[in-house]
Amino acid sequence: MTSIGTGYDLSNSVFSPDGRNFQVEYAMKAVENGGTSIGIKFKDGVVLAAEKIVTSKLLVPNSNKRIQTIDKHVGVVYSGLVPDGRHFVGRGRDEASSWRSTYKVPIPVPSLADRLGSYAQAYTLYNSVRPFGISSIIGGVDEDGAHLYMIEPSGSYWGYSAAAAGKGRQTAKTELEKLEFSSLTAKDAVKEAARIIYLAHEDSKDKEFELEMTWISASETNSIHQFVPEALLKEAKQFAAEATSPEDKMEE
């Protein structure tokens, strides 16, 4: 970073001479230090998954959820600073509630992504605030089918067939690119998401983690965002453990 030390990294509202906003770049570093999160879009829905690092044996299992519901038909998972993520989810719920109150229908997923992207971008404009230290992956099902978006600290957002954020992003992205999304079923997507999270965790294999997964499917959940049933989650974990075992890698 050629401009560090000249004061251009002290404020959101000042560009460096080469046109960079260092505070946004630092926010991306915060995302890269967070646990891996992914989203996969399949034929009639979306699966969201998160690698939740267990930082203490005293923590209650399954507490501090990293995947949350914005509206009945929309869920979000994020990598980065957890408090920032909670605030961002709260803003998403406000936007969904406002849309429902005004138009008497659930908010379309692309409209929600647009509003949240604009909100994130506003936090890159003023000296009195800082960018959100998260990348969030939003998935949902509306009248136009399944949607998946990732919103970055800069406020930019894109529609994806699959997306990944966090420390294991590159490993996850490589595996996601191998999937055939057009033929992927809901249960297959759950198993693949678990496998990819397990693979991405190998960079932090000295730390314990919890696998958190939700899904939204027109056929499986009636287009409602829900946590994956315990039986299917257990099956997905077993599939992931076997697929990433050292024996399997030696055979390959």
Domain ranges of the chain: 30-243
R_g of the chain computed on alpha carbons:
19
Q: Can you give the pLDDT at residue 9?
A: 87
Question: Nearest CA to 151 among 118, 197, 198, 176?
Answer: 118
Q: Which residue ranges of the chain lie beneath pLDDT 50?
A: 1, 5, 249-252
Quote the CA–CA distance of 214 and 89 in Å, as a whole number: 16
What's residue 28's pLDDT?
96
- CA 30, CA 129: separation in Å to the nearest integer? 16
pLDDT the model gives residue 1:
46
CB 169 within 8 A of CB 32: yes
Q: Which CATH superfamily is domain 30-243 in?
A: Aminohydrolase, N-terminal nucleophile (Ntn) domain (3.60.20.10)
Tokens of 77: 């998972």
